[in-house]
Amino acid sequence: MGKDTLSVTDNRTGQQFEIPIEDGSVRAMEFRQMKVDDDDFGLLTYDPAFTNTASCRSAVTYLDGEKGILRYRGYPIEQLAEKSNYLEVAYLLTHGELPTRAEYVKWEHDITIHTFIHENAKKFMEGFQYDAHPMGMLVSTVGALSTFYPEAKEIYDEEVRQLEIKRLIAKMPTLAAFAYRHSLGQPYVYPDNDLSFSGNLLNMLYKMSEAKYNPDPVLERALDVLFILHADHEQNCSANAMRAVGSSQVDPYSAIAAACAALYGPLHGGANEAVLRMLNEIGDVKEIPGFIKRVKDGEGLLFGFGHRVYKNFDPRALIIKKLAYQVFEVTGRNPLLDIALELERIALEDEYFIERKLYPNVDFYSGIIYQSMGFPVTMFPVLFAIPRTAGWVAMLDDAAQKIARPRQVYIGAEQRDFLSLAKRNSTGG
């Protein structure tokens, strides 16, 4: 049995170093001792997109991209999607263990009583343009919640922290639904605390004049399963934004606003919106070969394909594909499904995608389900942000965290003297 160390020879100096290996990783700071002389700052590791850098130790989510494994706190995503519900999963993520019956009842009660938002929050929602993107509205309004709960700044107060976790999980659906209703010019619907987490969201989105909204149980369950699948995904772009911003010890509402902003982008949570736009643009199965050719020629991406970590299959995509058929039993078959299925079939047989290990990701089919359930594409990233809140807040407790402050490799100009405007030539020199 070898030693748990890495031997490094710095060929610039001939010096040798022995670096400890811990949990399959080495500390980047170990490289700083490697210098050519005393004035040398020391060796940096360069990893612009964190492709091989662990930014934390975490006991929340386990992911094996080669084998297509995803587990929350050790529980396989397939089992959670089949047997659990979103609120229970949110408890699991934030507390580390599944709740007992009594704990679950209390948790459900605690979340439910925090679903309402301050009436003034409604007022600034009203200030947005009629066609404002709901994700833009969510980013701003969740950040603004910090002004209602100034005590949230007490991030090391365990009681406060637990309260803000519940508030955030509970209020995100309300903010999301208000943003949606605003975009339609429809009156806001207050939470109905008799309904489940997902059922209440459907109520706030779709209730009109009826006295009581009764969600379709299949759609309610489908939404809940989608929420379970989206609840966490370890150190992705938005989780990293949450960690980086939160590391300044700002309140969690501001950090979640940053995480939502990261999720908004088309390479991340905005991808399901991009998938729908792409499928609509393709429009017909016979246009697919031409579209694939354009992608291969570098003229665009096949949205919903590829993943930084999954290089074999995305286990969430398999579950979502099955879920789509259950939803279509209620809503009728979405015609875009045929385009998606054919696109997937062709792409999975094509050398370009095989070579690059590009497979359907979580977003490839989720958008089609959301559309069938009546959501406009602009709501897709919002529907991602609601459940991901549990994953974001599950990371709040990390004793090892310090302010995130990466280094850079400077490649700019050496020191030079300032020239007055009159003396500068056309290039500024």
Closest separation between CB of residue 269 and ligand ACO, Å? 6
Q: Rule CB under 6 A: is residue 295 a binding residue for ligand ACO?
A: yes
Angle CA(119)–CA(196)–CA(333) in degrees, nearest 5?
110
Nearer to ligand ACO, 178 or 303 (CB): 303
Q: Draw the binding track, 32-71, toward ligand ACO (x: CB under 6 A; -: no contact).
A: ----------------------------------------
Residue closer to ligand ACO by CB (options 220, 363) is 363
CB 404 within 8 A of CB 250: no
Site size with ligand ACO, rule: CB under 6 A = 19
Instruction: Say whether residue 267 binds ligand ACO (CB under 6 A).
Output: yes
Interface of this chain with ligand ACO, residues 367 to 396, rule: CB under 6 A: none
CB of 74 to ligand ACO, least distance (A): 22
For ligand ACO, give the closer residue by CB, 173 or 381. 381
Mark 301-330 with x for binding to ligand ACO (rule: CB under 6 A) and - for no binding: xxxxxxxx----------------------
Q: Is 182 a catalytic residue?
A: no
CB of residue 218 to ligand ACO, shortest distance in Å: 24
CB of 426 to ligand ACO, least distance (A): 36
Active-site residue identified among 114, 133, 233, 307: 307
Which residue, among 34, 82, 35, 54, has the nearest Cα to 243 in the 3D structure?
54
Q: Which stretch binds ligand ACO (CB under 6 A): 147-155, 262-270, 374-382, 396-404?
A: 262-270
Contact characters 204-243, ligand ACO, x per CB under 6 A = --------------------------------x-------
Site for ligand ACO in 350-369 (CB under 6 A): 356, 358, 361-363
Residue 271 binding ligand ACO, by CB under 6 A: yes
Quick one: 173 or 306, whose CB is closer to ligand ACO? 306
Q: Does 109 participate in catalysis according to the annotation?
A: no
Q: Which is nearer to ligand ACO, 43 or 385 (CB)?
A: 385
Q: How far is the CB of 295 from ligand ACO (least distance, A)?
A: 5
Is 233 known to be catalytic?
no
Q: Which of 192, 268, 350, 397 is catalytic?
A: 268
Phi and psi torsions of 8, nearest 5°: -125, 130
In the bound state, the residue with its beta carbon closest to ligand ACO is 306
Nearer to ligand ACO by C-beta: 55 or 401?
55
The CA-atom distances, in angstroms, between 82 and each of 60, 68, 323, 326, 385 are 20, 17, 11, 13, 21
Using rule CB under 6 A, residue 134 touches ligand ACO? no
> Three-state SS string across the chain, please?
CCCCEEEEEECCCCEEEEEECECCECCHHHHHHCCCCCCCCCCCCCCCCCCCCCCCCCCCEEEECCCCEEEECCEEHHHHHHHCCHHHHHHHHHHCCCCCHHHHHHHHHHHHCCCCCCHHHHHHHHCCCCCCCHHHHHHHHHHHHHHCCHHHHCCCCHHHHHHHHHHHHHHHHHHHHHHHHHHHCCCCCCCCCCCCHHHHHHHHHHCCCCCCCCCCHHHHHHHHHHHHHHCCCCCCHHHHHHHHHHCCCCCHHHHHHHHHHHHHCCCCCCHHHHHHHHHHHHCCHHHHHHHHHHHHCCCCCCCCECCCCCCCCCHHHHHHHHHHHHHHHHHCCCCHHHHHHHHHHHHHHCHHHHHCCCCECCHHHHHHHHHHCCCCHHHHHHHHHHHHHHHHHHCCCCCCCCCCCCCCCCCCCCCCCCCCHHHCCCCCC
Nearer to ligand ACO, 296 or 333 (CB): 296
Residue 358 beta carbon to ligand ACO: minimum distance, rounded to whole angstroms: 5
| Contact residues: ligand ACO, CB under 6 A | 236, 267-269, 271, 295, 301-308, 356, 358, 361-363
Active site residues: 268, 307, 363
